[in-house]
Amino acid sequence: MNGAGTMTVFPGGPPEWQTFPMDRILMQRMRRTALPTREELRAWQLQRLRETLRAACTQSPFYAAHLSNTDTGDLRTLDDLTRLPRTTADHLRESGLHMVCVSQDEIARIVTLDTSGTSGAPKRLFFSQEDLDRTSEFFTIGMQAVACAGDTVLALLPDERPSSVGRLLAQSVLNMGAEPVLGGINRGGAALATLAMEHRAGVIVGSPLHVRTLAHGWRTQGLPKGIVHTVLLCWDAIPQAVVDLLHDTLGCRVLTHWGMTETGLGGALACAEQRGMHLRETDLLVEITEPATGLPVPEGDWGEITLTTLCRSAMPLIRYRTGDMGRIIPGPCACGSPLRRMDHSPGRLADDISLPDGTVLRLLDLDEALLPMPDVTDYVARWHAATTPTLAITLHATLPVAGHKELCAQAAEQLSRSQTLAASLAAGLHLAVSVADGTDDAMTYAKRRIHHVAPHNP
């Protein structure tokens, strides 16, 4: 099947592999017929890192200055990477074009990212055709861990532009011999469930909230389990409440993916063991670092995901601070892959809220409390750090106005049971729950976060 080689196809069920597809990419890049050891992989990565640093220092005005105080030619092990200064989102905003290592004629795509809550210039990332081809390779081969030839794959992803992630995924699905269906962004749960059923979609790809919306529509219509065999969740932090809903409603396995535009969209993908996500170490060197110092944390500890691109020709990123929390899962995976595994990210560091009792509140904590409520389609959380700290929750719901008061009371009760919030609520944290005007179960693709509201100074 299109060079897949070792895949066994079971119509109507998930693929089974003798070799994890991401390992196949690894063997192709390293030109090997067998899996490398962890030590061999690290040696290969070190060579790619040296090549990246050499190109960056000689061809990028930004990196020539940024790395001028470091002897980049003296890196003897991957551990020496910590001697290099980090790059940040502000560098992308202020010096993006000067980070480019190729001529403008070689730039095939420019991605502009408007960051929510940030004023000033947006981030701009530049990709060559070679960079885009590597992303297409990852999507095409990586999706073979998710879908079978002949499957229908329903993508609940942005698809409005030719270069959007939904269109890229659709082409990759075609490349592997499956059929893509683009779900659009303005459909509610009933419409998404009907679309999936009409096309007999065996695989659904989307953010946790979008797939949750489909699952509620599926349950409301009384559709059977067993049609969908795999859901691939991506885009946002992944609440266990959503995973449980998908297991119960669709009767399918749930895989996970982490990535961002800075990683070339693909970053890490779960294998069949579903114990973390294997990093795309052919293209990325991932560190988990202490945010304040940039020094690595012990393996297994949480820190900031910091990445270095290894094969990016147009705009390499060197020790780039993603702002996402992460940790490396210690030890090898039972699947036998030499690729390290990363745990599911609980969110962004900047979104952490310090409650009055010292506990850290994250959006994922609110998700676990509120998303089990079927009438809540989404919500907006605002943190008012005033004399009396207030957590304001605005629910988006499918209920008519007559049911809003009861829904707010249920949400407040759910939040009061949260282990994260319970002590602060008992100590006087104010909780305000309301329902947005109108009823709406259609959703957008905006990144979700807890909004910080600055205290009002009269």
CA atoms within 13 A of residue 151's CA, in its CB half-sphere: 33
Low pLDDT (below 70) residues in the chain: 1-12, 115-120, 185, 438-447, 456-458
Q: Give the pLDDT score at 2.
A: 36
Q: Helix (H, G, I), strand (E, B), or coil: what is residue 9?
A: coil
Query: What's the one-letter identity of residue 279?
Result: L
Is the dihedral angle over the CA atoms 64, 48, 324, 172 positive or is it negative? Answer: positive
Is 7-38+130-349 a domain of CATH 3.40.50.2030?
A: no
Nearest to 21 by CA among 99, 137, 129: 137
**In Å, how far from its chain's centre is CA 150?**
27
Cα 458 to Cα 450: distance, rounded to the nearest angstrom: 24
| Cβ neighbours of residue 174 closer than 8 Å, sequence gap 6 or more | 180
The Cα-based distances of 82 to 85, 297, 316 in angstroms read 8, 11, 17
How far is C-alpha 452 from the chain's CA centre?
Answer: 22
CB contact burial 357-380 (16+ within 10 A = b; e otherwise): eeeebbbbbbbbbbbebebbbbbe
Domain boundaries, the chain: 7-38+130-349, 352-453
User: Rounded CA gap, 202 and 252, in Å?
Assistant: 9
Q: Is the dihedral of CA 151, 156, 162, 163 positive or negative?
A: negative
Q: Which CATH number fits domain 352-453: 3.30.1370.10, 3.40.50.300, 1.10.287.470, 3.30.300.30?
A: 3.30.300.30
pLDDT of residue 149: 92
Question: CA dihedral in degrees (169, 171, 176, 177; nearest 10)?
Answer: 120
Looking at the whole model, is its pTM more than 0.85?
A: yes
- By DSSP bridging, strand 277-279 and strand 268-270 are antiparallel
pLDDT at position 437, please? 77
Decide: helix, strand or coil at residue 361: strand
